[in-house]
Amino acid sequence: MKQLFELKIEKLAMGGFGIAYHDSKAIFVPYTAPGDVVDVYVTHERKDHSFAKVSRYVSRGEAYTEPGCDAFGGDNPCGGCDWLMLDYQAQVEHKNTLIEGLFSHFIDPAKIYPTIASPLPKHYRNKVFMPVGKDGYKKLSYGIYARWSHRIVPHAACHNHPPVFDSIAQRIMQLCQKAKVEAYDETSHTGSLRHIGFRCSSDLSEILVVLVTRSAKLPFSGLLVKQLTDEFPAIKGIVQNINREHGNIILGDEEKVLYGRDYIFDTLSNTKFQINYRSFWQINIGTMELIMDSIRSRMNPNANVLDAFCGIGAIGLSLAAEVKSLVLLEELPEAIEDAKQNAAMNGIENISFITGKFEDLLPELVEQNCPDTLIMDPPRSGATKESIETIIQSGIKQIIYVSCSPMTLARDLKLLLNSEKYKLQSLQSFDMFPNTWHIECLAVLNRV
């Protein structure tokens, strides 16, 4: 492999890579940051850029801090973190720089507000699924996949989720080892235990445990339930999810509730939610509260609101008391049923529900009763071009666009702004995912 020596990392790129330059060519290097001087070996060569891995850190930049995690960096790093070696304030500043670099060439920089930090830079994740395998001593172990692979990097503790998750996970490994439960092998499609998953409330008073297995058989499950619930009283439910299929999809279609219930309760903006272990729920509620404060400050109390891609209703139901009327739109029937239940639980009545695809139903909704405000929180792929065109042709006065992918947000904003039917009021970024390069954004647009 081609070796390059003493490259200086100049800046960071989307994807979490550090960028150095050699012979006028950009070299993308993971687990590096500006100011680092590194020796690298090239792993992939392209015409105008290359990817490389560090063979030696000659020196580290000013923002370097000791990661404190055996699974981070090194020869076999896990894929959970990109920037654990960076001081947290430096992480936030770099995310701000990435957002400015992506949007400032077509948006007035004065409309791009500085990135808001997460209230919790560590232990912020309220949900995690971790694959199960065997360690070097043929004992059950859990961890996180290495980047771009299905090789499990074992963990003793993770900086991103609550420590209690690891305490429970370690106990599950001990109990399953005694019960002679075999770890799943995806190559041979043998073994049983595939993943262990956790979901918790913001105050850690309620925890769900999920055991993903290849078959319905789980030896000594009654003893496992008793041991876990005796030792960890915050556990409100233990679910066995059965995934009989090959492939890398975590959850299967079958399930058995071994103990308690398959959901927890949590709150967002003083609104109570029932959250199934399958449901989408933002993983960092501290940051989500900041996003809700920002949305709330831009809402018209007399608005008729359409909350598209609503899921179980997190954003819309949290705003319901402060708007005139609310329509929740979601493709998944199960999520709409959960949203209805959450609305009833909170006594929300100025609301209606529609099941279907946003791009299919939007033209009819606009024609029947055009909403004043459209709230969008689409998947990472963003909105379709057809639905953006429908929005442009509509009379919707305000768009509130929440995005977990700055790149697809940039694509969609260009379409909206180039139509000259909308102008940007503000673009605010939030750190929903500390220690990674990922960034949550909130864009607010008004009809011209």
Q: Which residues are the active-site residues?
A: 404
Q: Distance between CA atoms of 102 and 180, rounded to whole angstroms?
A: 52
Residues 311, 339 contacting (CB under 8 angstroms) = yes
Is residue 437 within 8 Å of 12, Cβ to Cβ?
Answer: yes
Is residue 295 helix, strand or coil?
helix
Main-chain dihedrals φ then ψ at residue 358, nearest 5 degrees: -55, -50
Taking Cα atoms as reference points, which of 178, 264, 160 lies closest to residue 219? 178
Determine the 3-state secondary structure of 406 from DSSP: helix
Write the Ramachandran bin of 183: left for phi over 0, alpha for psi from -120 to 50, otherwise beta. Answer: beta
Helix or strand (DSSP H, E) at 290: helix 285-297
Q: Tokens 């090194």: give the residue.
A: 74
Closest C-alpha among 314, 233, 222, 324 to residue 266: 314
Structural contact between residues 424 and 444, judged by C-beta atoms closer than 8 angstroms = yes
Between strands 11-12 and 3-8, the pairing is: unpaired
